Amino acid sequence: MAKNDEVKRGTFPVNGMMCAVCAGVVEKTAGEVEGVTEAAVNFAAMSLTIAWNPKSTDPQIVSQAIAKAGFEMIVEDDEDDAIALQEQQEQTLYRQMRRKVWTAWAITLPLSVVCMSGLTFPGHGWAMMLLSLVVMVVCGGHFYVSGEKNALRLTPNMDTLVALSTIVSFLFSLFNTIFPDYWHSKGLDSALYYEASAMIVAFVLTGKLMETRARHSTGSAIRSLMGLQPKLATQLLDDGTTRVSKLSTLRPGDRIIVAPGDRIAVDGIVDDGHSSVDESMLTGESLPIDKGVRSVVSAGTLNISNPLTVRVQQVGRNTLLGQIIDSVKSAQGSKAPVQRIVDKVSAVFVPIVVGLSVVTFCAWLALGGELSLAVLSAVSVLVIACPCALGLATPTAIMVGIGKGAQHHVMIKDATALEQLAHIDLVAIDKTGTLTEGQPMVTDVMWVEGQQTESLSIIHLLERGSSHPLAKAICNWAEQYDFSPIEITDIDHAAGLGVFATIDSGRHWIGSQAMAEMMHCTVDSTARAYIDASLAAGKGVVLYGCDDRLMAVFALSDRLKDDAKHAVDYLRKENIEVALLTGDNRLTAEVVAEECDINEVEAQMLPAAKRDYIASRRNEGKRVAMIGDGVNDSVALAEADVSIAMGTGSDIAMNAAQVTIIDGRLSRLPFAIRLSRQTIRTIRQNLFWAFLYNVIGIPVAAGLLYPSLGIMLNPMIASAAMAFSSVCVVSNSLRLKYKK
């Protein structure tokens, strides 16, 4: 639970939610607790995400409020313990529900055969009454308890509909059993519908069982990620002994031993040992990485060959894997814009259905229909209506889509980004570190005043504090030589240009040609020819000088990523415009653009210029995605409709972005766009069928086709259709897992 401006945030499992109406009640109840600033329920994940002010409330108080509303919010000190407890309870409930389903069908099938065959025997009505009562009370008792509670709270839900429909059928049949000739004396037909009550319970239970099992599969991605993080670690104590410790007890500075074949439990530094580590779950790199003393290791990665002693830096939710898991959970719990409409419909759905049922009953009697027909129609309306399908349509697809993205190293922060990514018209791409490897090397250097040891010291000093790939390349180059490091803290940065500092009464600087112009530096013809030749060859140039004197020119090259052209080709094939935005010079940018077949190039752009470009294209009506990796891209990322960061870049860029490609492979971009489109298509399909099901099902259940076609929907068929609708929605969402 992260702290931010005295507001804490956490996600907690919630048990007892049966439909979208229940989810709405939990969300509303939590949101009304004083001190809670945000509450969002993920019905598909059976969880509640809240943000709260710890000075005013805490999760225990929220849990108590939710308990009064009839649901259970699980609050544990350790989130993993809470999830484990929920899964344990869900498994117990699943086994209980499975027993109830078998029991219900074992009684309902013989009962239906007797009723439908017209078989009679002395006391057959009372026998059927007892059998249906067993099914209703023993197998479906929770429907009546929950339905009554929610009705009294004026928040009727699916349980209320099931309870009303089965009670009406049962009481009507019971009256006819006690007074078999009452309706005949009034010239009306009567019948027994005990099997309808039992069948409704059996079908609804079966549907819930199938839905629970299918919905559990939608969370498989997050569970697989959580499964990568060990719960225990072998801690190495100061006296040389070891003990098995829970991760929650480990602190930075502690040491753990990781045996071959075990997953590393923490983010840390190797203190002792040498081994190969499989980091594919984080980086996508299939080949193991050699790790020795002072190497950085990450939680969830697999130690392959030899034991390692690791000094702990981060544990649990603070590790890179923990942050990924938190991000996926948060994204899966977020709501797409279309979900707000569904929430509003779900809030009034059940009262409208009850009203339609009453209208149906009265209309049949007013039109001179038989009483039994009126009862059947009213019951069928209650049964066939399904708020569950509506409630599951969006969150199940989002859970599967975002989970699948995480498994393929694409982190999508929220459902809004997932939806917007499907509709982009233009992708603006940064060059260094995005289209290129971001690991340039100094190929050659032109010294204007001759190489000096002092110059090496100053160059290294100026560049070592920068995260820019060109600065790192120059630092690596300088470290090949012997020089005496110097220390100075008064270093200034010119955004997008370079860095400078006053040393020995001179203003030393290093950066782009624009930086040289800002320093009023004179570039002679020899240096100009060298710069032009380097640029024409597609190399980048960095200039170093003191005051207005040019002292050296560095030529650097950066290899194009292997999958860059493939990604650009996909975008062009999908009629998505591509623009290259870079702070580098135009010649270098055009060489890279030509290799990737990019027509639009904007070069020598400062961060503000990138932002202004994106703003102008948005003003033209374009939906723009920006993809970059550096600090200088953060303002442009913030301006875009969809911001995409490379995970190999700066933390600032990743924090500003809605989507992060963890392993930095540009080929993940086409995958992310396809995934977005498939997910949005699935959501639309789910909502279409959920709404269509109710729009068609309710009138048919009301008997709209009876006068013209003689079609009357039996409550048993209605209950089967209702159960089937939810299962169809979840199953359709699960198809996303297998699409390419």
Same structural domain, 296 and 203: no
Domain check: are 192 and 94 in the same one? yes
Whether residue 290 sits in one domain with residue 363: no
What percent of the chain is modeled with pLDDT above 70? 89
Assess whether 29 and 93 both reside in one domain. no
More confident residue, 144 or 714: 144
**CATH number of residue 428's parent domain:** 3.40.50.1000
Helices (H), 179-319: 182-185, 194-218, 220-227, 280-283
Which of 89-103, 249-263, 481-495, 682-696 comes out lowest in average pLDDT? 481-495
158 and 282 within one domain: no
pLDDT surpasses 70 at 392: yes
Domain-embedded: residue 48 = yes
Confidence at residue 550, expressed as pLDDT on a 0 to 100 scale: 92
Last residue of a domain, one of 284, 318, 352: 318
Confidence of residue 733 (pLDDT cuts 50, 70, 90): confident
Q: Are strands 267-272 and 308-314 parallel, antiparallel or unpaired?
A: antiparallel
Q: Which domain holds residue 40?
A: 3-73
- Is residue 1 over pLDDT 50? no
Q: Do residues 392 and 371 both lie within one domain? A: yes
Confidence at residue 77, expressed as pLDDT on a 0 to 100 scale: 64
Whether 429 and 445 share a structural domain: no
**Maximum alpha-carbon separation in the chain:** 119
Q: What is the mean pLDDT of residues 433-450?
A: 84
Question: Are 215 and 273 members of one domain?
Answer: no
Of all helices (H) and strands (E), which one includes residue 275? strand 275-278
Q: Which of 379, 210, 38 is nearest to 725 (CA)?
A: 210
Residue 418 lies in a domain: yes
| Per-residue confidence (pLDDT) for residue 552, from 0 to 100 | 92
Separation CA 699–CA 688 (nearest Å): 17
Examine the domain organization and report whether 207 and 93 are in the same domain. yes
Q: What are the angstrom distances between the C-alpha of 194 and each of 94, 125, 148, 174?
A: 27, 9, 21, 8
Give the lowest-confidence range in 108-112, 572-576, 702-706. 702-706
Label residue 183 by pLDDT band (50, 70, 90): low
pLDDT for 186:
56
Q: Which two tokens stand for residue 21?
A: 């109406």
State the average pLDDT over residues 125-147: 89
Taking residue 550's Cβ as centre, other Cβ atoms within 10 Å add up to 21
Quick check: is 252 in a domain?
yes
Task: Give the pLDDT band (50/70/90) at residue 210.
Answer: confident
594 part of a folded domain: yes
Per-residue model confidence (pLDDT) at position 30: 92
Give the pLDDT band (50/70/90) at residue 427: very high
pLDDT beyond 60 at 5: no
- State the pLDDT at residue 68: 85
Predicted pLDDT at 619: 92
DSSP secondary structure code for residue 449 in this structure: S
Comparison of pLDDT for 670 and 196, the residue scoring more? 670
Rg (CA), the chain: 33
- Out of 430, 558, 629, 663, the active site residue is 430
Choice between 307 and 370, residue whose per-residue pLDDT is larger: 307
Average pLDDT over residues 429-453: 82
The mean pLDDT value for 707-716 works out to 71
Residue 425 binned pLDDT confidence (cut-offs 50, 70, 90)? very high
Do 586 and 437 form a contact (C-beta atoms < 8 A)?
no
d(CA 379, CA 199) in angstroms, rounded, equals: 12
DSSP type of residue 231: S
**Of the spans 129-133, 687-691, 711-715, which averages the highest pLDDT?**
129-133
- How far apart, in whole angstroms, are the C-alpha atoms of residue 342 and residue 688? 12
What token pair was written down for 43?
Answer: 């019905």
Phi, psi of 595 (to 5 degrees): -60, -35
Confidence label for 672 from pLDDT (cuts 50, 70 and 90): very high
Answer whether residue 192 shows pLDDT above 80.
Answer: no
In a domain, 81, yes or no: no
Binned at pLDDT 50, 70 and 90, residue 386 comes out as low
Q: Is the dihedral of CA 272, 275, 281, 282 positive or negative?
A: positive
- Dist. CA 151–CA 355, nearest whole Å: 14
DSSP string, 359-392: HHHHHHHHTT--HHHHHHHHHHHHHH--HHHHHH
Helix, strand or coil for residue 230?
coil
* Residue 216, pLDDT score: 67
Q: Which distant-in-sequence residues (6+ apart) come within 8 Å of 589 by Cβ?
A: 431, 580, 582, 601, 602, 603
3-state DSSP assignment of residue 630: coil
CA-closest candidate to residue 345, choices 695, 712, 653, 719: 695
- Alpha-carbon span 22 to 539, nearest angstrom: 61
Q: In what order do the strands lie in the sheet with 267-272?
A: 242-246, 232-236, 255-258, 308-314, 267-272, 296-297
Same domain, 333 and 208: yes
Domains contained in the chain, number: 5
In a domain, 671, yes or no: no
Tokens (6 digits) for 622: 């374009």
Residue 130 has pLDDT above 90, yes or no: yes
Tokens of 200: 């409704």
Q: Could you give the CA distance from residue 642 to residue 418 in angstroms, rounded to a whole number? A: 9
Nearest C-alpha neighbor of 401 from the set 14, 685, 107: 685
Domain's final residue, options 318, 349, 364: 318
Greater confidence (327 vs 553) lies with: 553
d(CA 486, CA 464) in angstroms, rounded, equals 12
Q: Is residue 121 part of a domain?
A: yes
DSSP-derived secondary structure for 23-50: HHHHHHHHHTSTTEEEEEEETTTTEEEE
Half-sphere exposure of 725 (CA within 13 A, CB side): 31
Residue 430 among the catalytic residues: yes
Give the chain's mean pLDDT. Answer: 82
Q: In this predicted structure, what is the pLDDT of residue 451?
A: 63
Nearest Cα to Cα of residue 386 among 633, 677, 165: 165
Assess contact for 626 and 521: CB atoms under 8 A.
no
Confidence of residue 119 (pLDDT cuts 50, 70, 90): confident
Considering the domain architecture, whether residues 311 and 341 belong to the same structural domain is answered as no
Q: Which CATH number fits the domain that encloses residue 524?
A: 3.40.1110.10
Residue 675: pLDDT band (50, 70, 90) is: very high
What would the pLDDT profile of 372-381 be if each residue is shown by its tens digit? 788 888 888 8
Q: Cβ-count burial of 103 within 10 angstroms (0-12 exposed, 13-18 middle, 19+ buried)?
A: middle
Predicted model pTM: 0.70
| 68 in any annotated domain | yes
Domain co-membership, 415 together with 368? no
Q: Which of 639, 664, 689 is the last residue of a domain?
A: 664
**For the residues 451-474, what does the mean pLDDT come to?**
82
Inter-axis angle of helices 20-31 and 337-366, nearest 10: 120
Give me 222's structure tokens.
């997050």
Predicted local confidence at residue 399, as pLDDT:
82
Query: Residue 2 has what pLDDT?
Result: 41
pLDDT tens, residue by residue, 268-277: 999 989 988 8
Higher pLDDT, 546 or 320: 546
For residue 51, the domain's CATH number is 3.30.70.100
Cβ atoms of residues 542 and 472 within 8 Å = no
